[in-house]
Amino acid sequence: MMMHRQNVRPYIDVLEDLGVRVIDTRVTGSNHYRIDVMANGTRKFFIASRSSSDHRALQNFRTMVKRWKQSTYLEKYRD
């Protein structure tokens, strides 16, 4: 399914800023994106809001991705 770039772009920018590779993006159901990503050899998907009324969605998304990426790094380099 084709999605509008301007809607998903802020989420892609967050992922690129955090150094996470985007594998795939698609619209799921109503008003959400599924974004498949990879970091430190670990794959995961995140669900992100398409709704502009959710003004904290992008901040929450950044926090979730950051926390996940840190946990994958710790798992990979654990003694």
- The model's pTM is 0.79
Span 7-40, pLDDT tens digits? 788 899 999 999 999 999 998 877 788 999 999 8
Query: Looking at residue 58, what is its pLDDT?
Result: 87
Domain range list for the chain: 5-74
Query: Looking at residue 48, what is its pLDDT?
Result: 87
Q: What angle do CA 73, 76, 42 make, to 5 degrees?
A: 75
Residue 24 CA to residue 7 CA, distance in Å, equals 15
Structure-block tokens of residue 22? 């985007």
User: Residues 6 or more apart from 5 whose CB is under 8 A from it?
Assistant: none
Residue 57 CA to residue 41 CA, distance in Å, equals 26
Window from 37-41, 50-54, 66-70 with minimum mean pLDDT: 50-54
Q: What angle do CA 33, 3, 13 make, to 5 degrees?
A: 65
